[in-house]
Amino acid sequence: MKEIVVAIDFSKGSLNALKYAIAIANKTGADIMMVWVRKPSSNDSLYSVDKTIIEEAKKRFESLVFDFKNKLKGKLSYKVLEGKVYKEIVNLAKYTEADLIVSGTHGVSGYEKHWIGSNAYKIVAASECPVITVRNNFNVRTTIKKIILPIDDSVETRHKVPFAFEIAKAFGAEVHILSLFYSENKDTVKKVISYSKQVAELLDNNNIKNISDSIKGDKDPFKTIEYAEKVDADLIVIMTEQDSSPLSFILGRFAQETVNHSPIPVLTVQPKEIYESRSGIVL
């Protein structure tokens, strides 16, 4: 990796995202670009107030640089932008050719208490590069020991493997290949078994420890989350499963509910993107 973009709003969730990003950057040799986006004001009379807010944001960033620069092997920098939060962050990642976006998430009160914020959700849906969402109450560790890699019968399911491979290789992590059998159809079962074996062979050939397991039944993301919690995983890697338009903000049910409800960081990868690791691994 060369650069990781971290969405910052100075909340506990975004600071968790920064700490998680630093752990990944130190293992992959990446620099980190922190970004805060000010929503534009329609009232010109608030210009002086907005200017004060921007200066305050810069001061906070300087404080973060001071606090974290010695914890990051690479370069730690920041940008203050203006516009729609998700759009500016996604565009910055594209412009800088970032390999990853890391965003903190937070729940709200009531029945939506487990749902991620709208900006984080839109970043996941619109980003062309992978996105990791980190809960504000997640106990960030300095290493990634276990990665959950769900495999279903879709062709796209393997597109996330190269990126999971790179992180597993960098951290020496154990990969749990989780075969998802949503149907008893023989062809479907055969595909899942075949894809899972391909992944296991790839990991074996690259000396990455892996464990194969399975879940049967309906396409229930909570079973995957429960499995991840049971084995004390540090990361779940999934596809966004979204429609052809990246601006539709409509994720498939499995992706949406996994991102919304998982207390463990979730890495989402666009189906149209096939990420190659530095080893050139493509499935």
107-128: pLDDT as tens digits: 443 333 444 567 888 899 889 8
Q: What is the pLDDT of residue 270?
A: 84
Main-chain dihedrals φ then ψ at residue 119, nearest 5 degrees: -65, -45
Decide which of 120 and 187 is more confident: 187
**Lowest-confidence range among 34-43, 98-107, 205-214?**
34-43
Task: Give yes or no for a contact between 167 and 156, defined as CB atoms under 8 angstroms apart.
Answer: no
Task: Give yes or no for a contact between 92 and 5, defined as CB atoms under 8 angstroms apart.
Answer: yes
Q: What is the pLDDT of residue 137?
A: 78
Q: Where are the domains of the chain?
A: 3-135, 146-269
Decide which of 219 and 117 is more confident: 219
Would the CATH topology of 3-135 be identical to that of 146-269?
A: yes
CATH architecture of 3-135: 3-Layer(aba) Sandwich (3.40)
Distance CA 161, CA 166 (A): 9
pLDDT exceeds 50 at position 174: yes
Tens digits of residue pLDDT in 5-19: 999 988 888 889 999
pLDDT exceeds 90 at position 193: yes
Distance CA 253, CA 251 (A): 6
Tens digits of residue pLDDT in 39-61: 776 454 444 446 788 889 899 99
What 3 state SS string does the chain have?
CCEEEEECCCCHHHHHHHHHHHHHHHHHCCEEEEEEEECCCCCHHHHHHHHHHHHHHHHHHHHHHHHHHHHCCCCEEEEEEECCHHHHHHHHHHHCCCCEEEEEECCCCHHHCCCCCHHHHHHHHHCCCCEEEEECCCCCCCCCCEEEEEECCCHHHHHHHHHHHHHHHHHCCEEEEEEEECCCCHHHHHHHHHHHHHHHHHHHHCCCCEEEEEEECCCCHHHHHHHHHHCCCCEEEEECCCCCCCCCCCCCHHHHHHHHHCCCCEEEECCCCCCCCCCCCCC
CATH architecture of 146-269: 3-Layer(aba) Sandwich (3.40)
Considering 111-120, 216-225, 230-239, the range whose residues carry the highest mean pLDDT is 230-239
Q: What is the pLDDT of residue 114?
A: 42
Q: What is the pLDDT of residue 281?
A: 55
Decide which of 135 and 21 is more confident: 21
Residue 254 pLDDT level (bands cut at 50, 70, 90)? confident
Distance CA 125, CA 142 (A): 27
Q: What is the pLDDT of residue 272?
A: 60
